[in-house]
Amino acid sequence: MIYGLCILLFLIGLYAVVTKHNLIKIVIGFIIMENAINLFLIMLGYRMGGKAPIIWQDAAGKADIAAFANSAVDPLPQALVLTSIVISLGVTALMVAICLRVYQRYGTFDISKIRRLKG
Amino acid sequence: MNNSNQINIAEHSEGMSLVVRTIARWVKSFIFIFGLYIVFYGHLTPGGGFAGGVIICCSFILVLLAFGKERAFKRLSLERAGALDSIGALGFLLVAVAGIFFAGTFFVNWLSVPAAGSINSLLRKIGVGEFRLLSAGTIPVNNIWIAIKVCASMYLVFALLAMLRINDDTQEDL
Amino acid sequence: MNVETITIIFLAFIVIGSLIAIETPNLLSAVVCLGVVDIGFTILFLLLKAPDIAITQMVVEVVCLIILIRATVNRDKSADTGERKLFGLMTTGAIIIILFMFIMNVVPLFGEFGNPIFTRVENAPSQTYLSKCLEDTGAANAVSAVILDYRGYDTLGEATILFASVIGAIALLRKKPRKKINEPDESDSLSVVKDE
C-alpha cells in the first residue's frame, strides 16, 4: 500500500514526461519522478520506531553505541539520496537552461509547435 | 508577452521594492551564519556540506534578487564564483589524494582520530575529542570544500539564469 | 496514529498535489503546486527520520522553485493548447497501468514497511556503519560518515556530475555561442517557426 502510492507517484511523473506538450510540465514531471524515487529509497531503510542515525551523548557525555545500532534507521540510503538531491538541482538547472534557450529560439514552450529541433 | 509591468526578477538593476530590500538587509547575514553552522557542525548534527552550501548560496541569491546584480556582483562576482567552483572541486580531490601520501590509501581519513582516553579536559574545552568540533578527521574539511563548491556553482547558474533576457533581442553583457 | 498511517495520508496529499501540478493549465500555478508537493516530501523525510535529507530537500526545493518561477514568469503561461489524440492518451494510460501492475508484483520482495532488510541480514554494511562510525571516523552523524568517509568515491562522482551539469548550463546560458570571426551571422535560421 505505502510502496504502491510511492510507485504511483513515480508513474504520475512518467505520465507527465511522456504525454505533456509543455517543456516546463515535462521538467515538473521529472522533478516529481526524482522525488518519488528518493522517497522510496528512504522508505526502504525505515525501521519502525527508529531513531535518526545521529549519535547523541547523554548527560554524562557517554554514548550507548549498541542501543543506537539497534534502533537507528539505515544511514546508507540517506547518504545516497543526499547526493542525489543535489544532483537533481544541477540537472534541473540544466533542463531549465535548455528550455529557456528553446523558448528564445522558437518563442514557445510547446514541443508540438517546435518542428525544427535539429536547428 | 513582453509585459514590462509584471515582476521582473533581478532584471532591474535597482532591485525590488523597499519592503523586500529592508527585510533582505536584515535577514541575509542570518541565513549566511546559519549556513556556516550547518557546514561546520555537519558531522555532529543534521546537515553537511550539501545543505549548508545551498543555504549559503540562498543568502547570495537573496541579495541578487533584492538588490539587483550590481550589488550582488560586488560581493561575489561571476569570475570569482567560477574560480571558487573549481577551487572547491580541486580541494576535495586534494584532500582525497593527500590520503595516499599520509596513510597510503586514496580517500582514507588521514587526519588521525584521537582515542577516547588520550584527551584531557583542556583539549576537550578547546574542541578536540568525541562530540566536539575537531573530531572527525577529514570529514569537516571535506564538508567545507563541498560547501564552497555547491555554493559557487549554484550561484553561478542562478546568476546566469537571472540575467538571461529572452523577450528582448539584445542580450545583456555579462 | 502510527507512522505508516501518517505517511499514507501525506502521500495521498502529495499524489493529489502532483496531479494538480501536472493537469492545471496555468504554468505559474503548476510551479506553485510543485512547491507544495516538495514541502510534503520534506515533511515525509522528517517523519521517516531523515533530518539531513529534510534540510537539503527544503533548501534545494526553494532554489528549484525560484529557478522555475524565473523560467515561467513573463512567458506565455497557458500550457496545453494542442491536446494529444484520445487514442495515444489511452495507449499511454494502458502502458502505465500495466507498468504499475508489474512493479507491484515486485514490491513484496522489498519486505514490509518498517522492517528493513539490513536488520535481518548478518553483517550488513549498514550495521557496520551504525556500530563503527563513531569509533572509525569520530563523526557522530552516521550519514556524514557514510558520505565523506566510507563512501567518499560516491561523493567524488557526485561532485563531478554537479560540475559537468553546471558547465553545461553555463555553456548554454552564455551570452553568445563561440564561433569563428568570419562566420556569417545565422540569425535567419533562428527564426520562430509559426504555427501552421
The closest CB to that of A25, out of C22, C75, C154, belongs to C22
Structural domain count of chain A: 1
- Domain of A22, CATH number, reads 1.10.287.3510
Helix, strand, coil abundance in chain B, percent, nearest 5? 65, 0, 35
Any C CB within 8 A of B80 CB = no
Least confident of A104-108, A114-118, B169-173, C103-107: B169-173
Average pLDDT of span C3-21: 90
- C-alpha neighbours within 13 Å on the C-beta side of residue B74: 6
Q: Does B50 touch chain A (CB under 8 A)?
A: yes
Measured in residues, chain B has a length of 174
The mean-pLDDT minimum among B101-110, B120-129, C166-175, C180-189 falls in: C180-189
Please give the ipTM for the structure prediction.
Answer: 0.88
Cell of C155: 561523493
Find the residue in C nearest to A36 (Cα). Answer: C41
CA distance C128 to C8: 31
Quick one: pLDDT at residue A106? 77
Domain, as residue range, for A69:
2-47+65-106
Do the domain assignments include residue A38?
Answer: yes
Give the residue carrying C-alpha cell 540562498: B58
pLDDT at res. A60: 67
Distance from CA of A57 to the nearest CA of C (A): 9
What residue of B is the nearest CA neighbor of A61?
Answer: B131
Provide the 10 A C-beta neighbour count for residue A87.
17
Q: Is residue A56 in some structural domain?
A: no
Count the Cβ atoms, other than its own, within 10 Å of residue C123: 7
Q: ∠C39-C13-C93 over CA atoms, to 5°? A: 115
Query: Which residues from chain C sit within 8 angstroms of residue B58, using beta carbons?
Result: 59, 62-63
Cβ of B154 and A89 within 8 Å?
A: yes
- Does residue A115 lie in a domain region? no
Quote the mean pLDDT of chain B.
Answer: 78
Secondary structure of A34-89 as H, E, C letters:
HHHHHHHHHHHCCCCCCECCECCCCCCCCCCHHHHHHHECCHHHHHHHHHHHHHHH
Beta-bridge partners for C26: C78
- B131–chain A Cβ distance below 8 A for any pair: yes
User: Which of A53-62, B123-132, B155-164, C138-147 is least confident?
Assistant: B123-132
Cα(C162)–Cα(C164) distance, integer angstroms: 5
The answer to whether residue A95 sits within a structural domain is: yes
Question: Is A55 a member of any domain?
Answer: no
| Binary contact (B157, A57; C-beta < 8 A) | no
B46, B131, B161 member nearest A97 (Cβ): B161
A58 occurs within a structural domain: no
| B76-122 residue pLDDT tens | 888 888 899 899 989 988 888 888 888 777 877 777 655 555 556 66
> pLDDT digit string (tens) for C53-90?
999 999 888 888 888 887 777 666 565 555 567 788 88
Residue C178 has φ and ψ, to the nearest 5°, of: -70, 135
Q: To which residue does cell 538571461 refer?
A: B164
In a domain, A86, yes or no: yes
Q: How far is CA B160 from the centre of its chain?
A: 17
Across the range B29-35, mean pLDDT stands at 92
The per-residue pLDDT of chain C, averaged, comes to: 80
Residues A45, A77: contact at Cβ < 8 Å?
A: yes
| A89: in domain | yes
Tell whether the model's pLDDT for residue B10 goes beyond 50: no
* pLDDT for the residue numbered B3: 45
Put simply, the answer to whether B130 touches A89 (Cβ < 8 Å) is no
Provide the pLDDT for residue B6: 47
Amino acid at the residue C99: L
- CA A92 remoteness from chain centre: 11
Taking an 8 Å cut-off on Cβ atoms, the answer to whether B150 and A93 are in contact is: no
Q: What is the distance, to the nearest Å, from the Cα of residue B42 to the centroid of all Cα atoms in its chain?
A: 13
Report DSSP state, residue B163: H
pLDDT tier for residue C193 given thresholds of 50, 70 and 90:
very low
* Pick from C64, C114, C162: CB nearest A31: C64
* DSSP line for C129-151: HHHHHHHHT--SBHHHHIIIIIT
Q: What is the mean pLDDT of residues B55-67?
A: 89
Percent of residues, chain B, with pLDDT higher than 70: 74
Name the residue among B79, B82, B89 with its Cα closest to residue B149: B89
The number of beta carbons lying within 10 Å of the beta carbon of residue A45 is 24
- The closest CB to that of A54, out of B46, B50, B54, belongs to B46
Chain Cα centroid distance, residue A116:
32
User: Cα A72 from chain centroid?
Assistant: 23
| Minimum Cα–Cα distance from C60: chain B residue | B54
Q: What backbone torsions phi and psi does residue A72 show, to the nearest 5 degrees?
A: -85, 155
Q: What is the pLDDT of residue C190?
A: 43
pLDDT of residue B174: 37
Question: Mutate which of B58, B131, B135 to disrupt the A interface (most A C-beta within 10 Å)?
Answer: B131
Q: A29 or C188: whose pLDDT is higher?
A: A29
* pLDDT tens for each residue of chain A, 119 residues long: 788 888 999 999 999 888 888 888 899 999 999 999 999 998 888 888 888 888 887 766 677 778 888 888 888 888 889 888 988 988 898 998 888 888 877 777 777 777 665 54
Over the stretch C127-137, which tens digit does the pLDDT of each residue have?
888 888 877 77
pLDDT the model gives residue C184: 55
* pLDDT > 50? residue B5: no
Domains of chain C, residue spans: 1-75, 114-177
Q: Residue B70 carries which side chain, given as an amino acid letter?
A: E
- Cell numbers found for residue B108: 582514507
B-contacting residues in C 95-124 (Cβ below 8 Å): none
Comparison of pLDDT for B138 and B144, the residue scoring more: B144
Q: Is the dihedral of CA A89, C33, A24, C65 positive or negative?
A: negative
- pLDDT bin (cut points 50, 70, 90) of residue C43 is very high
Residue ranges of the domains in chain B? Answer: 18-163
Closest CA to A50 of A76, A34, A69: A69
d(CA C196, CA C20): 31
The lowest-confidence range among A39-53, B65-79, B156-170, C46-60 is B156-170
Residue A39's pLDDT is 92
Measured over all CA atoms, what is the biggest interatomic distance in chain B, rounded to whole angstroms? 70
Q: How far is CA A73 from the centre of its chain?
A: 19
Q: What angle do CA B147, B151, B157 make, to 5 degrees?
A: 150
∠ at Cα C134 (C131, C137), nearest 5°?
Answer: 120
Structural contact between residues B49 and B147, judged by C-beta atoms closer than 8 angstroms:
yes
Which grid cell is C5?
Answer: 498511517
Quick one: which of A12, A110, B162, B14 has its CA closest to C69? B162
